[in-house]
Amino acid sequence: MEIVIITGLSGSGKSKTIGILEDIGFFCVDNLPPKLISKFVQIGKASKGNLDRIAIVTDIRGGQMFSDIFEEIDCLEHDNVNYKILFLDANYEILKRRFSETRRKHPLIGIDNCFNVVDAIEKEKKLLYGVKSRADYVIDTSQLTNSQLKERISKLFLEKSKDVMIINFVSFGFKHGDITCADLVFDVRCLPNPYYIDSLRFKTGLDEEVRNYVISFDETKQLIKKLEDLIEFLIPLYIKEGKSQLTIAFGCTGGMHRSVTFAETFYRKFLKNDNKVSVSHRDINKK
């Protein structure tokens, strides 16, 4: 059996995620109290293969019952159940906007002195910190489109494999805030900035002219080689420790030129080596 436990912040995309998993063959259950997870797994085992891939959403909607999740995780490990935890995250501004657009009430509003969305999000982040730290996969959906989220989820779970690592290359701009879900962050602001070239200012690292400019410098070529060696050295070590997903972020000032060039460059390099990779650009459309 393959069990995926989906949890995360309210408004981060759990409903969309479970729909994606259902499309690729999972039997999905939404808003299941954690205490029932192990019982549902037993039902799956008794189904004689009819429920061999199960996705379960459990989150803060369960109220005080959500604290049972750690006991349930321990039970799954004790019973040698093949499970993964997928945690969905998003930043404050995106979550506030999503609740505003949908006009839905955050499940913590009115509880423990949470009287607005900001208070509720802050409290929920604290309550979920422990389970996030135990997650096998953490996906920040702040800047992901529905199709990008589907691609990420499909790459994680479409194939049955415990030994393959997913490598996510991400670009971002420091001026738009730090990135929260990266395992490795490399600051490439030390390199010449195409922003100061009039013909390149309003282009991005997806444009060949920008990439050629960034990579034309000897220090860029040396940095790419050194980082490639480092990442290739680290990947087997992460796999050995049981890590299934590695997110590598490159940051520049605005997240449009140098960081995008690096994310695209490394995505293409590691794609050639038959790795399972993805690339996304958090701030490429921000002015």
Neighbour-count burial for 158-181, b at 16+ CB within 10 Å, e otherwise: eeeeeeebbbbbbbbbbebeebeb
- CB-based contacts of 221: which residues, under 8 Å, 6+ apart? 215
Contact predicate 156/88, CB 8 Å: no
pLDDT of residue 117 exceeding 80, the answer is yes
Q: Say how far apart CA 165 and CA 229 lie, in whole Å.
A: 17
pTM, entire model:
0.61
HSE-up of residue 151 (Cα within 13 Å, Cβ side) = 11
Contact predicate 10/114, CB 8 Å: no
At 257 the three-state DSSP class reads: coil
User: Which homologous superfamily is 2-157 in?
Assistant: P-loop containing nucleotide triphosphate hydrolases (3.40.50.300)
Domains in the chain: boundaries: 2-157, 166-281
pLDDT for position 159: 59
Give the model confidence (pLDDT) of 83-110 as tens digits: 999 999 999 889 988 888 877 888 888 8
Give the model confidence (pLDDT) of 157-201 as tens digits: 875 444 457 899 999 999 999 898 899 999 999 999 999 999 999
